[in-house]
Homo-oligomer: A and B are copies of this chain.
């Protein structure tokens, strides 16, 4: 028989842990003195303690350890638990590798710039959107803005005329390509009941699991710079655009003050 302290040393665990395992009925001492409460462990219990520690070291929760130790799982179930744990660990390692990469990148930029370079670019997801749109062609990147601006009044008029409420933020989408004119869509999100009519077409944008997003603050005259910055950032991060249309979401446009406008630029990415 061992005291709790001896047994703890033998198993390489703390006394507190043994008390915890007792309280959880995971490893109950062979006897407990009814008067003093002193716990006594038998030599034969070392085996269970070792198994407990080994399973915990694999990353199982105490509840899982209990079911395994108490033989409540068959060989197949145990295989399943191990495979699940395998998958979880693999994912965990991959996550931490990503984190490590980002830490290293920060360290490299900090060496060069000696302060925290902070950009307002994040990677997020973009939802599927059902849109009522009017589209046009822009000859060049610089031409996109004027084209969009010319499309919205007509679109708004057509939607209002059709009695369709406009509640969500307007969304514009462009199909960027290296050469040739750019297809420009000026649009508003609409419900499933709305269909194409004279004055606007209804189409859907697919959901995108990963987009690089930059929040552009202020008037739209400098939005080209923001798109450029976003493209440069994607390149620096070693990511690639997926080729799906980019989106401009006009989150807030107080009509009296363009300097307070808020626009999200979203550039779909290929899976990493």
Taking beta carbons and an 8 Å cutoff, which residues of A are in contact with B?
1-2, 6, 10-12, 43-44, 46-47, 50-51, 53-54, 57-59, 68, 75, 78-79, 82-83, 85-86, 89-90, 92-93, 96-97, 99-100, 102-104, 106-107, 110, 114-116, 118, 120-122, 124-125, 215, 217, 251-252, 260, 262, 264
Contact = CB atoms under 8 A, between A and B. Distances in A.
Nearest to A79: B110
A260 B43 contact: yes
Given A10-B215, A103-B85, A252-B43, A122 B53 contact: yes
Given A99-B89, A122-B53, A215-B10, A75 B43 contact: no
Contacts of A120: 46-47, 50
A96 B99 contact: no
A58 B106 contact: yes
Contacts of A92: 96
B75 A110 contact: yes
A50 B92 CA distance: 23
A116 B43 contact: no
Q: What is the interface of chain A mostly: helix, strand, loop, or mixed?
A: helix
Given A46-B120, A89-B96, A58 B102 contact: yes
A264 to B, nearest CB: 7
A223 B10 CA distance: 18
B89 A103 contact: yes
A100 B87 CA distance: 9
B82 A106 contact: yes
28 contacts: A2-B251, A6-B251, A10-B215, A10-B251, A10-B264, A12-B125, A43-B215, A43-B251, A44-B217, A46-B120, A46-B215, A47-B118, A47-B120, A47-B215, A50-B120, A50-B121, A50-B215, A57-B102, A75-B114, A78-B110, A79-B107, A79-B110, A82-B106, A82-B110, A83-B107, A85-B103, A86-B100, A93-B100
A81 to B, nearest CB: 10
B103 A86 contact: yes
A6 B46 CA distance: 56
